[in-house]
Amino acid sequence: MEKFSPTPSDSPSRSWMRMTVLILGGLLVLRILALLADPNSLYADETQYWLWSRSVDWGYFSKPPMIAWIIAATTSVFGDADWAVRLAAPFLHTITAMMLGLTAARLFDARVGAFTALGWATMPAVWLSSTIISTDAVLMAGFSTALYALVRLREGPDWRFALLLGAAAGYAFLSKYAAIYLLIGLAVSAVIDAPSRRALISLQGAAAVALFVIIIAGNVIWNAQHDFATVSHTAANANWSGTLFHPEELADFLSGQLGVFGPVFFVILIAAVMTTFRATTLAWNTARPRLMLVAFCLPVLVIVSAQAFISRAHANWAASAYLTGLILVIAFLLQGPAWRRWALYGSLGLHTVAGLALMAFAASTPLSDAAGLANAFKRVRGWPETMQAVERIAQEQGVATLVYDNRNDFHQMQRYGQGFDGQMFMWVRAEHAQNFAEQTWPLPDGFAEPVLVISERPEETPLMEWDFAQFEQVDEVSIPLGGDRYRTYQVFRAQGHQRRERDAAYENRVAELRAGSD
């Protein structure tokens, strides 16, 4: 398909642009209203990001700082409500949709650009990601902007887009370290695509790199000062220390992509990539735009699929592949036999209906319960009630210090128990901190005052007991979450904390304990 650059005087292009802007604007308003109407609490990861935002820094235990900076900005303007914490998410995905639409329009035509923008805005994962604040939403806005800047630089030298490329790449890196896939895509593009190579290996390309380095320098320095904690966290997430090679994990990951990208879109993406490779054998120059898009898509899917096969991979780990993957899919479906257009329209309709249904279920607890979806929302229900129950037991026991064995519960209690006057700490199971909560709020050695231990892990109760001079169960908390689901904790009164050394003898005792309970 030949490159088509829309101009202001091109009436069809202007019509596509107006339609796209109107639909994206309507979806943005709808998603903001959905945030305001959502009765559910934040997810634990969102709460962690909110905690980060209260102390702005160049980095945090497991992530770069951009998400914390954005939450700090929205909550400073709109207050500390849950919807204000999430407010940037629909705007970020709208920006991503617009940038992808502009990119597709430059590479193909205005119609491909319009459907690409709408395809992103209605993608299954985006419906969910627009209702929560996540590092993926933050990353995609920068990644897509960098792609657009590269496409403009492919057309000819322009200092504006060189600087935009460097700034957008720097922003993406400060958003999520999965921005490494952007750098890999740029490198592969420079090898296989002559226009990209000319753009990147130039004075303007060097300026983009310099600006990128300047922007990320603060985070690199922060990591160096903190023993590269995020590198260790990433290695732990990869989980290569256990049994390797899991074909069932690969199957789970690939099936998960049907829900992330859409069942038809994912299958069509495979066909579009194969068609692109075939086209290069016939007309390399004509296939170049699509080949450049493959450079940002295929490596991500291959790398994450390999990770899934070796150990495990979450479904969203390959999300950046669908930025250019979507453009490939839309361009493929808008040419050739008529069934392709019907596949496109049907997918957009299916994704939209599913997304609107998700919004309705999230906004109405009775509706989601009636549909049998209580389990899907259990992690964001009942947190204020949970904290109230814990506070009641603390008052009855005359204890002013709470200790948790799960970082998710701990962060939720920090968020929804802000009226609690006492202290809250984390019990640290391993030799060293494994997360932000354990790193920042570990229960100090020699802490002599009585504490209330809130535990949802019965298998670790004997381990905690070893760390205290006194330890006895005094109560239990059970919070209904709908659909016969409950959040349950054992509550212990403990005193005289003296953490045992996590040496080989300790781990042997742990192994014996678990073997005895099997």
Greater confidence (317 vs 509) lies with 317
Residue 81 domain flag: yes
Distances (CA, A) of 5 to 13, 96, 159, 209, 290: 9, 20, 19, 27, 16
Distances (CA, A) of 200 to 100, 207, 444: 20, 10, 52
Same domain flag for 386 and 359: no
Confidence of residue 9 (pLDDT cuts 50, 70, 90): very low
Confidence of residue 120 (pLDDT cuts 50, 70, 90): very high
Same domain flag for 416 and 346: no
Distances (CA, A) of 2 to 79, 83, 108, 296, 333: 49, 44, 6, 20, 15
Domain C-terminal end among 328, 363, 398: 363
**DSSP-derived pairing of the beta strands 451-455 and 468-482:** unpaired
Confidence of residue 227 (pLDDT cuts 50, 70, 90): confident
Q: Which of 93-102, 176-185, 308-317, 487-496 is least confident?
A: 308-317
What pLDDT shows up at residue 151? 97
- What mean pLDDT is predicted for residues 209-225? 96
- What mean pLDDT is predicted for residues 374-390? 93
Same domain flag for 408 and 303: no
Can you tell me the distance from the alpha carbon of 379 to that of 77, in angstroms, rounded to the nearest whole number?
27
Does the structure show a pLDDT above 50 at 109?
yes
Does the structure show a pLDDT above 80 at 240?
no
Selection from 42, 69, 142 nearest residue 100 by Cα: 142
Handedness of CA 124, 127, 128, 133 (dihedral sign): positive
Domain C-terminal end among 331, 363, 395: 363
- What mean pLDDT is predicted for residues 440-466? 93
**Residue percentage of the chain with pLDDT more than 90:** 79
Same domain flag for 423 and 466: yes
Residue 203 domain flag: yes
Q: Tokens 């400073």 belong to which residue? A: 76
Can you tell me the distance from the alpha carbon of 279 to that of 198, in angstroms, rounded to the nearest whole number?
22
- What mean pLDDT is predicted for residues 251-277? 94
Element (H, E) at 298: helix 284-310
Handedness of CA 166, 177, 124, 362 (dihedral sign): negative
Residue 375 domain flag: no
Q: Which of 133-137, 159-163, 225-229, 388-392 is least confident?
A: 225-229
Greater confidence (30 vs 505) lies with 30
Greater confidence (311 vs 106) lies with 106
- What mean pLDDT is predicted for residues 353-382? 92
Packing angle between helix 338-363 and helix 110-121, nearest 10 degrees?
A: 30
- What mean pLDDT is predicted for residues 58-63? 91
Domain that holds residue 249: 11-363
What pLDDT shows up at residue 236? 62
What does the radius of gyration of the chain's CA atoms come to, in whole angstroms? 25
250: Cα within 13 Å, side-chain hemisphere: 12
Residue 61 domain flag: yes
Distances (CA, A) of 68 to 53, 74, 214, 414: 4, 10, 20, 16
- What mean pLDDT is predicted for residues 267-283? 87
Give the amino acid at 251.
Answer: A
Residue 371 domain flag: no
Can you tell me the distance from the alpha carbon of 273 to that of 268, in angstroms, rounded to the nearest whole number?
9
Same domain flag for 430 and 333: no
Can you tell me the distance from the alpha carbon of 210 to that of 216, in angstroms, rounded to the nearest whole number?
10
What pLDDT shows up at residue 3? 44
Can you tell me the distance from the alpha carbon of 84 to that of 87, in angstroms, rounded to the nearest whole number?
5
Other CB atoms within a 10 A radius of the CB of residue 205 amount to 22
What pLDDT shows up at residue 2? 39
Does the structure show a pLDDT above 90 at 492?
yes
Does the structure show a pLDDT above 50 at 7?
no
The answer to whether residues 473 and 455 touch, using CB atoms and an 8 Å cutoff, is: no
CA 467 to chain centre: 36
The answer to whether residues 257 and 300 touch, using CB atoms and an 8 Å cutoff, is: no
Q: Tokens 């790398």 belong to which residue? A: 303
Name the domain count of the chain. Answer: 2
The answer to whether residues 423 and 365 touch, using CB atoms and an 8 Å cutoff, is: no
Per the prediction, the chain carries an average pLDDT of 92
Packing angle between helix 338-363 and helix 321-333, nearest 10 degrees?
A: 130
Does the structure show a pLDDT above 50 at 1?
no
What pLDDT shows up at residue 102? 97
Phi, psi for 230 (deg, rounded to 5): -70, -30
Other CB atoms within a 10 A radius of the CB of residue 382 amount to 23
Does the structure show a pLDDT above 90 at 226?
no
Same domain flag for 250 and 314: yes
Does the structure show a pLDDT above 80 at 230?
no
Same domain flag for 183 and 46: yes
Can you tell me the distance from the alpha carbon of 328 to that of 498, in angstroms, rounded to the nearest whole number?
59
Give the amino acid at 256.
Answer: G
Does the structure show a pLDDT above 70 at 158?
yes
Domain C-terminal end among 363, 391, 406: 363
